[in-house]
Amino acid sequence: MDYESAEHHPAFEEYSETVYELAEDGVPVIQARIAERLEVSRPAVSEMIRRMEKEGLVDVDDDSRISLTKSGNALASTIVRRHRLAEVFLTEVLGLSWADAHQEAGRWEHVISPLVEGAMMRILDDPTTCPHGNPIPGSGYTAPGRPVALADVEPGSTFVVERIPEELEFADGQLEFLENAGLKPGCEGTLLSVAPDRTTTVSVEGIPVGVGAFTAERIVVSAG
């Protein structure tokens, strides 16, 4: 199936987007991870992956790892681009919170036309990332030189938040927490300490914030 015919199937769009985002975050792309992300049953994922294989959107290797084909990547890139562009529009123009924008963008991504996409890009002055710092496909985004996880920053060191990966966007309450704490792309902070349970305490604008291990291991920063 070519992209033009595949784009009219929201299920193909959703699954292609999920494979793309899991791979982007370095998460093993297997059926179990897709089921967790989409909150659907393993049999449902198995059936959809079989359909997508038949349509030429994904390949499955001997280790059951799933990857996008050229057609699948084209479809996924379009959906991811529209989702992240919608998030920028919803936060910067309409003033929605990160969490609300993420939920709404999940609906918008399936209905934004090329005409509307182009208009949004012009209004927003061709953004290169979503509000969480994730690259907008096709924008020419260039990653910072040596990004590391917040958890890998040495106590006493300064850092700048670069990216909140999709894995955290889908974790309950994380977007609200990070937005309220001011841990946004471009934010400067200092890592104060790491507790035995791997909770990381950082200072943002002079205010101490405790960040759990799961979150600290995934926030992408550049360290000073």
Domain check: are 125 and 54 in the same one? yes
Domain finish residue from 142, 164, 187? 142
Domain of residue 36 covers 1-142
Please give the model's pTM, rounded to 2 decimal places: 0.90
117 with 83: CB under 8 angstroms? no
Domain finish residue from 75, 108, 142? 142
What CATH number is associated with residue 212? Answer: 2.30.30.90
Q: Give the C-alpha separation, 148 to 162, whole Å.
A: 9
Domain check: are 70 and 156 in the same one? no
Domain check: are 23 and 69 in the same one? yes
Domain check: are 57 and 111 in the same one? yes
> Residue 8 has what pLDDT?
52
DSSP 1-40: --HHHHTT-HHHHHHHHHHHHHHHTT---SHHHHHHHHT-
Compute the C-alpha angle 122/79/85, nearest 5°. Answer: 30
Averages of pLDDT over runs of 10 residues in the chain (224 residues) are 51 96 94 95 96 95 95 96 97 96 95 95 96 94 84 95 94 94 94 95 94 96 86
Domain check: are 70 and 163 in the same one? no
Q: Give the C-alpha separation, 88 to 98, whole Å.
A: 9
Domain finish residue from 126, 142, 158? 142
Domain check: are 12 and 95 in the same one? yes
Domain check: are 124 and 155 in the same one? no
Measured in whole angstroms, the distance separating CA 171 from the mean position of its chain's CA atoms is 11
Domain count, the chain: 2
Q: Which residue has the tokens 């999920």?
A: 18
